[in-house]
Structure 1
Amino acid sequence: MPSIVRIENSKLSAEISSLGAELQSLVTKDGASLLWNGDSEWWTGRSPILFPIVGKAPNDRLTINGETYAMAQHGLARRREFTLVEQTAQSCRHELLADDTTRAVYPFDFRLQLEHSLRDDCLTVTATVTNSGKGAMPYGIGFHPAFLWPLPGAEGRPHRIMLKNGAEPELVRLEGGLLGETRHPSPFKAGELVLDFSQFAEDAMIFPEGAGSALTYSAPGAPKLHFSFENLPNLAIWQKPGAPFICIEPWHGMAAEQGGSDALASRPYTSTLETHQSARYSFSVSIEA
């Protein structure tokens, strides 16, 4: 059975599972729960890590260095048991190392570390990817946290996402789970998006570029959630229509393109690490009462 680590300070508490090093809860000092609870009626995820791909591969197959491998949507890490390597009262760090099972679908030696830390009213989740083998290692990575919609105290009230940069980034939709070619007009107006269930009838809203590195999710009468992103240029917003959650997903990597290659190196925003190189990605969410 997965183990659960609890971290807390005077303003927030969080729980993290060893399965996928996945955040399980985020609760304010007043007892307001902000993270989706994983109810299987809608979606069992809460905040999975997406690695070494984001989204789907054509026919769930990836080509890597001329060889073909089976790879499920969003990769392998979210369903793997991580090892707890460090814990304090306000932080914890889990680690996943490559083994024979991972190499069978992703033929690289890697280390993936996930750190969850609290500071004042802010939670930061940091992923560090290391190529511990030989040769170049391509991959994608992303975060998939789900927060309550409606937020506590805001039932029946409009919920908004505001981009800090005030942009109106172009929208791309998925076609059969793959990234469509058509660029649609932005649903943002001067950086503001008023959320509506109908926006998700065609699956996720994906913004390949232009959404910036910070946004706020809020509603009247509820805590405001201020997000910031490090090294995560892509943004997706997703909900199962009618479900009581909204996923705010910063990525570095996206699904394969409709009609495009199944090669991992050809996927949009794929990263590559050389031997012994590491890269860091993180998102933070600050809670304003």
Structure 2
Amino acid sequence: MPTMTRIANEFLSIEVSALGAEMQSATTRDGVNWLWNGDAAFWTGRSPLLFPIVGKAPDDTLLIDGKPYPMAQHGFARRREFSLEAAEESACRYVLEASEETRAAYPFDFRLTVEHRLDGLALTVSAEVENRGTVPMPFGCGFHPAFVWPLPGATGRPHTVTLDNGGEPERQPLEKGLLSPHRLPSPFSGGRLTLAHTLFDNDALVFPQGAGTGLTYAAEDGPALNFRFENLPNLALWTKLGAPFLCIEPWHGTAAEYGGTRELKDRPFTTLLAAGGHTRFAFTVTFPH
């Protein structure tokens, strides 16, 4: 079994697995776990990290400088064992570095650091990427946390996602897991979306642009989770049909476009990190009192 690390303060307790540096639970002091439990009947994920791609590649194959490499959906980091670099009472940091095995699929010398840190009722999950090589490094990075739906104590109540910016971003549908070139009208009205399972009949709702840097996931007259995003311009919402969870997915990078290039550096919103460079992505979720 992978190593587990527990961090806690007077308000929250978080468990993180060394496998994928993936959060396994997020429990408030009343004993309520707000994170999806990974029930295999629906989906075994809980809060996977997406790296070095977000979404699918055509035929699960990337081109890097014209050379093909195998790459499964959402990349390999979520299936890799990370090393625990540091742990304290309210924070832990895991690291994944390039190896012979990762270079067979992604020929770059990277260092990926994932930190979970508590501050009162807020949890910040960050990913820092360093290019230790001598050439520019293309990649996508994103988060995929799943929270219970309905929220605790709110069974039977309408649930909403409300964008801080009041936006009505266009939706870009998925076609065989890839981004369709078509755009669909926004399901948001005045920044507000009332959730229904039928919204996900054709896979995730993907908003490549315009969703802003924060949102609230809430039950009517019930609990709410508030989110803030750092360097994550893309947003997706997803659930398995009929499953009791909602994934709130901030990304920097998306799936390849249907009928488009297989070249990694040309995928939408790909980061091209200079040799010796580093960059950071993060989301913060604040839990109810």
How does the TM-score come out when normalised to structure 2?
Answer: 0.99
Contact kept? 1:92, 1:115, Cα under 8 Å:
yes
Give the partner amino acid of 1:182.
H
Contact kept? 1:167, 1:191, Cα under 8 Å:
yes
Q: Displacement, 1:287? A: 1.1
Q: Which residue of 2 aligns with 1:159?
A: 159
**Is the alpha carbon distance of 1:153 and 1:221 closer, same or farther for their aligned partners in structure 2, counting shifts above 3 Å?**
farther
Give the partner amino acid of 2:126.
T
Q: Which residue of 1 aligns with 2:191?
A: 191
CA distance in 1, matches of 2:112, 2:101: 15
CA distance in 2, matches of 1:221, 1:35: 20
CA distance in 2, matches of 1:204, 1:273: 28
Q: Displacement, 1:221? A: 5.1
**1:137-173 CA deviation, whole Å, 9 max, x = no partner?**
0000000000000110000111000000000000011
Q: Which residue of 2 aligns with 1:219?
A: 219
Structure 1 residue 171 corresponds to structure 2 residue 178: no
CA distance in 2, matches of 1:28, 1:47: 17
Q: Displacement, 1:125? A: 0.1
* Runs of 4+ off more than 6 Å: none
Percent identity over the alignment?
57
Contact kept? 2:162, 2:193, Cα under 8 Å:
yes
Q: Displacement, 1:288? A: 2.4
CA distance in 1, matches of 2:112, 2:65: 21
Q: Which residue of 1 aligns with 2:125?
A: 125
In structure 1, runs of 5+ residues without a counterpart are none
Q: Which residue of 2 aligns with 1:266?
A: 266
Structure 1 residue 143 corresponds to structure 2 residue 161: no
Give the partner amino acid of 2:256.
A
Give the partner amino acid of 1:183.
R
Q: Displacement, 1:229? A: 0.1
Q: Which residue of 2 aligns with 1:33?
A: 33
Give the partner amino acid of 2:44.
T
- Aligned partner of residue 92 in structure 1, secondary structure: strand
Contact kept? 1:153, 1:221, Cα under 8 Å:
no
- Aligned partner of residue 288 in structure 1, secondary structure: coil
Give the partner amino acid of 2:103.
R
CA distance in 2, matches of 1:137, 1:105: 14
Give the partner amino acid of 2:273.
L
CA distance in 2, matches of 1:226, 1:83: 30
CA distance in 1, matches of 2:138, 2:255: 14
Contact kept? 2:171, 2:185, Cα under 8 Å:
yes
- Aligned partner of residue 215 in structure 1, secondary structure: strand
Give the partner amino acid of 1:232.
L
In structure 2, runs of 5+ residues without a counterpart are none
Q: Which residue of 1 aligns with 2:82?
A: 82
CA distance in 1, matches of 2:128, 2:64: 22
Contact kept? 1:166, 1:190, Cα under 8 Å:
yes
CA distance in 2, matches of 1:223, 1:27: 14
**1:19-61 CA deviation, whole Å, 9 max, x = no partner?**
0000000011111110000000000000000000000000000
Contact kept? 1:109, 1:133, Cα under 8 Å:
yes
Contact kept? 2:154, 2:223, Cα under 8 Å:
no
Q: Which residue of 2 aligns with 1:63?
A: 63
For 1:88-103, list aligned pairs within 5 A: 88-103=88-103
Q: Displacement, 1:222? A: 3.6
**Root-mean-square deviation over aligned CA pairs:** 0.7
**1:159-190 CA deviation, whole Å, 9 max, x = no partner?**
00000000000001100000001110000000
Give the partner amino acid of 2:104.
A
Contact kept? 1:141, 1:251, Cα under 8 Å:
yes
CA distance in 2, matches of 1:267, 1:22: 25
Q: Which residue of 2 aligns with 1:45?
A: 45
Contact kept? 2:48, 2:144, Cα under 8 Å:
yes
